[in-house]
Structure 1
Amino acid sequence: MESRIPKALERHRTGYNCCQAVACTYCDLVGVSEDQMFRLAEAFGAGMGGMKETCGAVSGAMLLAGMKSSGGMRQRTKGGTYALSREIVNAFLKKNTTAICKDLKGTESGIPLRSCDGCIEDACTLVESVLFAKG
């Protein structure tokens, strides 16, 4: 797969929140239209509805993990989805030490750890390597 990171960053620059930028970039791979994904992801921006909690880029990756691995309401696929989610979050934590928006941005400490664009790049890298890698 050719990396879609530039497309995600362009979406962010044109007004998509971090979650929307990540989730909409790969929505075609999980069978969701961009309009639907945009609306699904809207509340997860700026750390869960502007609360600066869980990073929106990470939330976008989680949304994609659920869409990719869920077997629907009648299938028991939560375990697999949770495993994919943990793999993504743990890798993000290893690189950034936190997945909390206010800590990443340095809102309270005054010391930013990672920009929104950097978080989007990291989340997209993980989406591409964990969810959509060939093989």
Structure 2
Amino acid sequence: MLKSRVHEANLRHQRGYNCAQSVVCTYCGLLNMSETDALRAMEAFAGGIAGSGSTCGALCGLLMLAGLKNSNGNPNDRSGRGSTIKLGQQLMTRFKEWNGSTVCRELKGIETGKVLRSCQGCIADAARLAEEMLFDGVFEPYAPRTEGE
């Protein structure tokens, strides 16, 4: 079993990676994607998709990992598409259950002044979900969720 990478994802954010890059770059090597390609692919997802405050970047990164993990990569064979969408829906549902929203500006409390979850917490949650639902049995369990991440 591999050691959990949840903390590593947050360290990337502290080093300047955006939320989406932090999540994808932490696991991209397990899915045959280079870190350089992951950095480039996820760059515009900062600030809730291109700074719009919409879908959380950490969640976007998690959904990209779901596609890399689950898709057959063949546009002419749509047999796996439904299962990838279902997996994405399950990931989004769990993320929202944990955090109260999937929307960056709501999570950060930009309009309400009430922070639902910090960026560090969202990154940790996306990493936990990746390890639990995408890489089940590969990683040792990580510590329980806390707001301080």
Residue 104 (structure 1) aligned to one of 87, 90, 107:
107
3-state DSSP class of the match of 1:46? coil
Residue 85 (structure 1) aligned to one of 69, 85, 88:
88
Residue 134 (structure 1) aligned to one of 134, 137, 141:
137
Structure 2: which 5+ runs fail to align?
Answer: 139-149
Q: What is aligned with 1:71?
A: 72
Q: What is aligned with 2:147?
A: none
Q: Aligned partners of 1:46, 1:78: CA distance in 2, in Å?
A: 28
- Identify the structure with the greater helix proportion: 1
Shift of 1:118: 0.3
5 Å-filtered alignment, 1:44-59, equals: 44-59=45-60
Q: Aligned partners of 1:15, 1:79: CA distance in 2, in Å?
A: 35
- RMSD of aligned Cα (Å): 1.1
Structure 1: which 5+ runs fail to align?
Answer: none
Give every structure 1 segment of 4 or more consecutive aligned residues whose post-TM-superposition deviation is greater than 2 Å: none
Shift of 1:74: 3.0
Q: Aligned partners of 1:30, 1:74: CA distance in 2, in Å?
A: 21
Q: What is aligned with 1:62?
A: 63
How many pairs were matched up? 135
- Residues 69-112 of structure 1, C-alpha deviation per residue, up to 9 Å, x if partnerless? 11012322211111111111100111111000000000110111
Q: Aligned partners of 1:50, 1:103: CA distance in 2, in Å?
A: 13
Q: Aligned partners of 1:123, 1:9: CA distance in 2, in Å?
A: 11
Q: What is the identity percentage for the equivalent residue pairs of Structure 1 and Structure 2?
A: 44
Shift of 1:7: 0.9
3-state DSSP class of the match of 1:95? helix
Q: What is aligned with 2:40?
A: 39
